[in-house]
Amino acid sequence: MILVGINPGVLSAASGHHFAGPTNRFWGLLYEAGIVPQPITHEDDGRLPEWGIGMTNLIARPSPGIDDLSPAEYLEGWKILEKKIERFRPEIVAFVGVTMYRTLWKVITGWKPASPKPKGGGGAPVIKPGFQKATVHGARLFVLPNPSGRNAHFSYDDMLRAFRSLARAMRALPPRKPR
């Protein structure tokens, strides 16, 4: 599996570790959901491959928040991420952020104005945590809520349910042979 963050926050960039902000609940959710077998922090992000997990960001440029990112940066980041998916062939790509997936869904799904509109009208479909209908290079796409302390759209319990759903999906995967 590959976990995909939006971009490094200021503290993550300074520390060189993913999800390093003091109010970010990412690492606790990974453990509590059963995705990793022991409590870890951002300083342990290099251990994720021990459990078959890779991690990257969609956009490499650090920023204080996602409002500082441009649509062009999302699209350029997607081009790079798609190449990583093609190269590493994960079973699951988990986007850590509903907003990130919502921003990319047209590119990922190949939706064009002439395509049938999503249910409910003309804009993007309602994106909910969990598996999405699209796949990329054989990888199933999963969306997690962003665990930032600034995310008021999801309660901790909602986030934990989504992370536990991902953990169940990971446990259901057949064992992979080492590359």
- Collapsed DSSP state (helix, strand, coil) of residue 123: coil
Catalytically annotated residue among 18, 42, 57, 146:
18
Would you give the DSSP letter of residue 176?
A: P
pLDDT classification of 173: cutoffs 50, 70, 90: confident
18 is known as an active-site residue: yes
Mean pLDDT of 13-35: 92
146 is known as an active-site residue: no
Which pLDDT score is estimated for 165?
A: 98
Q: Are 55 and 18 in contact (CB under 8 A)?
A: yes
Q: Are 2 and 55 in contact (CB under 8 A)?
A: yes
Q: Is 91 a residue whose pLDDT tops 80? A: yes
Q: Is 179 a residue whose pLDDT tops 60? A: no
Catalytically annotated residue among 7, 24, 57, 146:
7
Mean pLDDT over all residues of the chain? 89
Q: Are 3 and 143 in contact (CB under 8 A)?
A: no
pLDDT in tens, 41-57: 999 999 999 999 999 99
Beta carbons within 8 Å of 82's beta carbon, 6+ residues apart:
136, 137
* Residues 2-171, CATH architecture: 3-Layer(aba) Sandwich (3.40)
CB atoms < 10 A from the CB of 131, how many?
Answer: 16
Q: Are 149 and 24 in contact (CB under 8 A)?
A: yes
Q: Is 16 a residue whose pLDDT tops 80? A: yes
Regarding pTM above 0.85, the answer is yes
Distance CA 161, CA 159 (A): 5
By CB atoms closer than 10 A (0-12, 13-18, 19+), residue 159 is: buried
Which pLDDT score is estimated for 68?
A: 86
> Residue 165 is encoded by which pair of tokens?
């759903």
Q: Are 31 and 40 in contact (CB under 8 A)?
A: yes
Mean pLDDT of 125-143: 94
Q: Is 118 a residue whose pLDDT tops 60? A: no
Residue entry with tokens 């054989």: 138
Domain ranges (residues) in the chain: 2-171
